[in-house]
């Protein structure tokens, strides 16, 4: 329940930030100017002019209707209109999301839950583990003593001059940093672990057996 509430809060926060931080105005202005300038130049640059210099060798068909330019203009302007709608999807246009209905319904459902449905509880039903008092774990006591993916560097056991001096002074061997969840202190190289049996689901049973 808490995870679902946290996820709902994150989604609402993302929606609020998306609606609060708009797209910079410079981006939209650049797109509008670029598209319209391109077709203004294409209106004159794609015309076929009738000249008398290369008439005997001319094989170009004079196109009276620029079909490809019309298609490009339709697609580009259409995509730009779609982008304008996507800039504010929570607006008041007919194609935008109906946020007023969603907000009103959620508010009405919330008031109904608090005011009218607080004593209307569903009847409890037994799940498959209703009568299970001692969960049988899927591993043994020996497997519980093993480290799961221990993170040990490649040079953890590499002897150094400092280790030799320390060993000669205090009589202790080289040590390494333990990254397991059982201890965060400096453990010896032997890594002796004393298992602790606990009750509860996912651990050992009440009688101490695996």
Q: Where are the domains of the chain?
A: 2-115, 131-210
pLDDT tens for 28-66 read 888 889 999 999 998 888 877 666 655 555 555 556 677
CB 157 within 8 A of CB 176: yes
| CA atoms of 114 and 169, how far apart (whole Å) | 71
- CA–CA distance from 30 to each of 36, 78, 80, 89 (Å)? 10, 17, 12, 21
135-161 burial, b at 16+ Cβ within 10 Å, e below that, comes to eebeeeeeebeeeeeeeeeeeeeeeee
Q: Per the structure block, which two tokens stand in for 209? A: 């057996």
pTM: 0.36
Mean pLDDT, consecutive 10-residue segments, the chain of 210 residues? 87 79 80 91 79 57 73 91 77 69 84 78 80 75 74 72 63 49 44 46 46
What pLDDT does 37 receive? 93
Pairing of strands 186-188, 175-177: antiparallel
């Amino acid at each position: 329940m808490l995870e679902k509430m946290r996820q709902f809060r994150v989604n609402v926060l993302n929606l609020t930030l998306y609606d609060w931080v708009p797209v910079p105005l410079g981006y939209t202005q650049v797109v509008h100017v670029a598209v319209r300038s391109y077709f203004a130049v294409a209106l004159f640059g794609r015309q076929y002019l009738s000249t008398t210099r290369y008439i005997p060798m001319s094989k170009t068909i004079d196109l009276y209707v620029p079909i490809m330019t019309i298609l490009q203009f339709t697609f580009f302007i259409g995509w730009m209109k779609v982008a304008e709608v996507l800039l504010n999807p929570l607006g008041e246009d007919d194609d935008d999301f109906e946020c007023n209905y969603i907000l009103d319904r959620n508010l009405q459902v919330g008031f109904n839950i608090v005011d009218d449905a607080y004593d209307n509880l569903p009847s409890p039903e037994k799940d498959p583990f209703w009568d299970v008092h001692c969960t049988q774990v899927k591993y043994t006591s020996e497997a519980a003593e093993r480290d799961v993916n221990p993170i040990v560097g490649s040079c953890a056991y590499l002897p150094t001059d400092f280790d030799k001096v320390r060993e000669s002074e205090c009589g202790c061997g080289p040590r390494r940093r333990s990254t397991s969840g059982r201890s965060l202190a400096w453990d010896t190289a032997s890594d002796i672990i004393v298992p602790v049996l606990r009750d509860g689901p996912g651990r050992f049973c009440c009688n101490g057996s695996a």
